[in-house]
Amino acid sequence: MQLVNLLPTYKEQETPNFEYTFTVFTPIYNRADTLERVFKSLNAQTFKDFELVMINDGSKDNSHEVALELIKTATFPVHYINNKVNKHKMACFMQAIQVAKGKFILPFDSDDACTPDALQVFKDEYEAIPIEKQKNISGVTCLCNDQFGNLVGEPFKTSPYYSNTFKQQMEQPNASEKWGFTKTEILKNIQVNSNIFSRGYIPEGVIWELIAKQGFDTKYINTTLRTYYLDTENAISIQNHKNDAFGMAIYSLSVLNWYYQDYLFKKPMLFLKRVYTLLRASQYLEFNLKEYQQAIQSKLLKVCFTIAWPLKKLL
């Protein structure tokens, strides 16, 4: 399997029929002590047209037993899947997309909370988008507070603000943690090679960058709807370069290949940073130099990577 063939692709599928407005997706891995937050938040929602797809990703604690008890308290439909083997969040996300019956998918981590009006606000913000513009909008994204009530990252410069993941990160690199939903029909068009699963954490940014590459924008709003717990044990935002090497390689190659034609000479440092990240990740992976050279589409970036290859152990 060539390295370049491990990048996700986009292929339009037949639009499915939906039963709910939202599918809330919650992956679980050793979250027995925090999962109750999810159910408290969802039971309190003022907008009720949603389902919860909850996937236990091979937890080693008693998350499964806790999940079963919490499901009994739910005032909304729950589709619960108990994976026996840990596959990591990306695999669970793709699994949830396949079974989702909501028009929009909203990832909601198993250690987070949200405001009672979160789904209502999201729905209202989408419906406020001009009809002629909605077709090219992938979803709506909002701000987050930490558990102490402090804003995480920077607010958007304007609200509403229409952009996409790639451009938004260039324009506001310190925006940090945000939260939002995506149209299910768009997510169902994403094809992910199953060979990337169970190889550590794959950044969700790979999915958002691919959606941006297809020409879809997101509506960004300066409304705080989610509580993001910064110090939770096992948080995926705590990076381990060795364990996350494969995921960072896939993400870096995605950015390098999908955006170099339009942005390499406009934002050269952004691409050099991704070359650096790819080199650092390569220390922990089995691919040889030729495989990376074949995977990088830009001749200039290929040369940069090749020149720096002997120095990768110094990174």
DSSP string, 181-212: EEEHHHHTTEE--GGGTTSS---THHHHHHHH
**Within a domain: residue 269?**
yes
- Residues 62 and 172 reside in one and the same domain: yes
Q: What average pLDDT does range 79-103 have in this prediction? A: 95
Q: What average pLDDT does range 274-301 have in this prediction? A: 96
**Within a domain: residue 239?**
no
- Residues 35 and 72 reside in one and the same domain: yes
Q: What is the pLDDT of residue 207?
A: 97
pLDDT digits (tens, 9 = 90+) for 195-243: 898 788 899 999 999 999 999 999 999 999 999 998 755 444 445 678 8
Q: What is the pLDDT of residue 232?
A: 53
Match 């513009």 to its residue by tokens.
Answer: 133
**Within a domain: residue 290?**
yes
**Within a domain: residue 233?**
no
- Residues 182 and 71 reside in one and the same domain: yes
**Within a domain: residue 76?**
yes
Q: What is the pLDDT of residue 198?
A: 77
Helix axes 268-282, 245-263, angle to 10 degrees: 160
Residues 169/175, Cβ–Cβ less than 8 Å:
yes
Is residue 189 over pLDDT 50?
yes
Q: Where are the beta strands (DSSP E) in the chain?
A: 9-10, 20-28, 50-57, 78-83, 102-107, 113-114, 137-146, 161-163, 179-183, 190-191, 217-228
- Residues 163 and 293 reside in one and the same domain: no
Average pLDDT, the chain: 93
- Residues 217 and 303 reside in one and the same domain: no
Q: What average pLDDT does range 246-250 have in this prediction? A: 95
- Residues 261 and 290 reside in one and the same domain: yes
pTM of the model: 0.92
Is residue 21 over pLDDT 50?
yes
Expressed as residue numbers, the domain containing 296 is 245-307
The number of distinct structural domains making up the chain is 2
Residues 56/74, Cβ–Cβ less than 8 Å:
no
Q: What is the pLDDT of residue 1?
A: 67
d(CA 243, CA 281): 9
**Within a domain: residue 237?**
no
